[in-house]
């Protein structure tokens, strides 16, 4: 299978989707236990939610599931959130802290290295290639990393997650204007809650590519799945009604970010 799907656009905005893929090789699927087979930690339907919101945006989407290898983790395996519960480069547990592999089937270092070459590296090669292409065209690139997660996961965080979770690595991955623009749209979205750099400050993608001094601005959006799914449990059905209310706010974010870049307000 191809590890990545890329759709090139003419906009300065690049949408990254590292966790929407649900493809798992059969040889690996046989080694997952029943919890692993549920693939509960997928960013369900995020590609559908963002479809056509910014028609000329470039999209880079991983097709493989995060249980194969997590495309939004440091390839060296360094934790993004030291001291807090999280999942690793090749997850051993799900977001509830429960094992996902059958006894004796947890992948070892050699297998992790192989998956890096087969899946993680091709995804990031494609993503970097598109960021570079867009930056060459416009003088600036905005990487918008698209994510979602269940709103209640005690193993990872206390309480209920806000609907919009903006991550900019405490402002280091983008210009202040970029973060403020996203936060403004989310803050005025009626009946939705939002936070910047709360529990989720941006994963490896945001931290690795976000170089505002070099014209690459990165922001992660972690959406609470309750904002667009019928239920946050299996079968994780998409809610047309909820998505219809949410999509205009996401569209406004993307269009305003694009306008910042095209108007030269980010130094291009």
Residue 79 has what pLDDT?
Answer: 73
The pTM is what? 0.96
Q: How far apart are CA 212 and CA 141, in angstroms?
A: 9
CB 131 within 8 A of CB 6: no
pLDDT recorded at residue 1: 65
- Check residue 149 and give its pLDDT: 97
CA atoms of 28 and 77, how far apart (whole Å): 20
Q: What is the pLDDT of residue 84?
A: 78
Q: For position 81, what pLDDT does the model report? A: 76
- Please tell me the distance from the alpha carbon of residue 147 to that of residue 43, in angstroms, as a whole number: 6
* C-alpha–C-alpha distance, residues 187 and 200, integer Å: 17
Query: For the chain (length 268 residues), average pLDDT per consecutive 10?
Result: 93 98 96 97 98 97 98 88 82 96 96 96 98 97 98 94 98 97 98 96 96 97 98 95 98 98 85
Paired strand residues for 64: 23
């Amino acid at each position: 299978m191809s590890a990545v799907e890329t759709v090139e656009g003419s906009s300065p905005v690049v949408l990254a989707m590292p966790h929407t893929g649900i493809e798992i090789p059969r040889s690996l699927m046989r080694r997952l236990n029943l919890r692993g087979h549920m693939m509960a930690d997928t960013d369900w339907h995020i590609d559908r939610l963002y479809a056509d919101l910014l028609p000329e945006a470039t999209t880079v989407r991983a097709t493989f599931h995060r249980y194969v290898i997590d495309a939004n983790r440091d390839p060296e395996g360094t934790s993004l959130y030291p001291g807090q519960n999280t999942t690793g480069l090749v997850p051993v547990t799900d977001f509830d802290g429960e094992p996902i592999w059958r006894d004796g089937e947890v992948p070892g270092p050699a297998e992790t290295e192989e998956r890096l070459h087969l899946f993680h590296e091709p995804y990031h090669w494609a993503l970097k290639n598109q960021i570079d292409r867009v930056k060459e065209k416009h003088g600036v690139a905005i990487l918008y990393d698209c994510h979602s997660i269940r709103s209640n996961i005690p193993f990872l965080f206390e309480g209920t997650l806000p609907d919009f979770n903006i991550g900019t690595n405490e402002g280091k991955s983008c210009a202040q204007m970029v973060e403020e623009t996203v936060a403004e749209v989310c803050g005025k979205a009626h009946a939705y809650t939002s936070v910047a750099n709360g529990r989720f400050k941006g994963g490896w993608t945001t931290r690795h590519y976000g170089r505002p001094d070099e014209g690459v601005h990165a922001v992660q959006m972690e959406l609470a799945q309750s904002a667009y799914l019928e239920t946050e449990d299996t079968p994780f059905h998409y809610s047309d009604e909820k998505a219809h209310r949410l999509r205009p706010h996401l569209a406004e974010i993307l269009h305003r970010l694009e306008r910042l870049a095209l108007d030269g307000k980010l130094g291009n």
